[in-house]
Every structure is written in C-alpha cells, then in structure tokens.
Amino acid sequence: MSGQTQDMRYLTFALGKGRLADKTLALLEKIGITCEEMKDKNSRKLIFVNEELRFRFFLAKGSDVPTYVEYGAADIGVVGRDTILEENRRVYEVLDLGFGKCRMCVCGPAPAKELLQHHEMIRVASKYPKIAKDYFYDQKHQTVDIIKLNGSVELGPIVGLSDVIVDIVETGSTLKENGLEVLEEICPLSARMIVNQVSMKMEAERIKKLLQALKDVITTEANYENRKIID
C-alpha cells in the first residue's frame, strides 16, 4: 500500500439492510469498489473494510441511514426516497440510483375515493406519518387523522382502523390480494445516495469521482435497457 493511500481517511458508507444493500454493492462492484468480507452471509460482523480503497461499509436499518449520515457517522448513505422524505434529515441527496423503483400512494377500497374529493375528516393509517401529513395538509389542504402503523398497513381499511392508507406500492399485488386499490399517487420513489454536508466539502474530490463513475454506469445501463425495449 502506498504511503499516500495509508494517509487517506476512510470514507464510510451506511447501507439500508436488505435488497437495497445487495443492489448497491452490485453497483459499486461495477465501478471497482468491492468488499469481499461483506459477501459472507454467515458473518455477524456489522462493519466491513476495503483497506486498499479506504472505504468502510456498514449495514443499518433503512430508517436509521439518514441519521448516521446527518451526524457524520457515515459520509455516504444509500436509502429509499421514502425514508429520506419521512426522516427529513440535513443531508445532501446527490444521486438517483435507478433501482428500488416504486410509488408512494394513497390506497383504499374503491368507494373511499369519494372521501378524498370533499375535504372530509378521514382516518389515514401509515408507516409514513410525515409524508401522509405533508400530502394531506400541504398539498390537498385536507385535515385528516393520521394513525401511525409499523407494518402490514393494508390491514387498516380492512379491519376498520382507517378509511385509507398511505403506503408504498411496487407491483400492486398486496393491494389487489386485499381488495384495495391506488386512489391517488403521491410521488415516485427509488433508491438514492445521500451525503453528509461536511464530508461533501472535505472529501469533495473523492466523492465527486465516485458520483461521476456511478452516473456513467447508471446511464450506460439505462441506455442498454432502452435499446432492449426498442429492439
């Protein structure tokens, strides 16, 4: 290892556990950033190091990733846009990674559509109370009662806890199997890269180089996908 590399400080990545982390690692691998240690599924280690490139990686609960990045415990994070909007942390959102695409929607049984037209006081269940509040209060100017749930949110209208839900829709099969549908779309979602505000200045060169390399791969892959559709 060269003296210069040894002096470089570690750039730390916080990755949201699960599919997003797997896809992020696959993307990083394409630009030559690998972490063999992390591929051992039996390992209980929480932090992994690439000594040569001076990168460190850790897996965290998705909703905690913006917190690690805001406080500088991680320089860079990868997390869904839903989490960024809900957590509202002081971080820079720098790149749409193009995977983990889905939509944040207001969903419910078809007749509940009517309840969204006339500013009625309705109950909204969600894992994302901030996103739900911002949408209903600031965009629709509708006063609603927001009920926080931690999962299986589709149960809300089925068991009579709420009139509608605000939740992520990917394939739509969870809604369909439970007799619910998308009533309104709030925003599109996908995996995003976020950066600590101080790191962006102090490590500008390394981070910009990383972002450019990622952008190049993402653009090339998108062009390839488009070509496949056209062909």
**Contact residues for ligand PRP, defined by CB under 6 A:** 127, 151-154, 167-174
Asked if 167 and 104 touch (Cβ cutoff 8 Å), the reply is yes
In eight-state DSSP terms, residue 138 is: I
Residue with smaller CB distance to ligand PRP, 81 or 127:
127
Minimum distance of ligand PRP from residue 150's CB (angstroms): 7
Residue 152 CB contacts under 8 Å (≥ 6 apart), including other chains: none
Compute the C-alpha angle 214/71/52, nearest 5°: 45
Exposure letters 19-57 (e unless 16+ CB within 10 A, then b): ebbebbbebbeeeebbbeebeeeeeeeeebbbeebbbbb
Residue with smaller CB distance to ligand PRP, 122 or 180:
180
Minimum distance of ligand PRP from residue 1's CB (angstroms): 41
Minimum distance of ligand PRP from residue 167's CB (angstroms): 5
Residue with smaller CB distance to ligand PRP, 54 or 133:
133
* Closest residue to ligand PRP: CB criterion: 151
Minimum distance of ligand PRP from residue 39's CB (angstroms): 24
Max Cα-Cα span within the chain: 68
Asked if 124 and 165 touch (Cβ cutoff 8 Å), the reply is yes
Element (H, E) at 184: strand 181-189
**Gap between the terminal Cα atoms of the chain:** 47
Residue with smaller CB distance to ligand PRP, 4 or 173:
173
Minimum distance of ligand PRP from residue 169's CB (angstroms): 5
Residue with smaller CB distance to ligand PRP, 18 or 72:
18
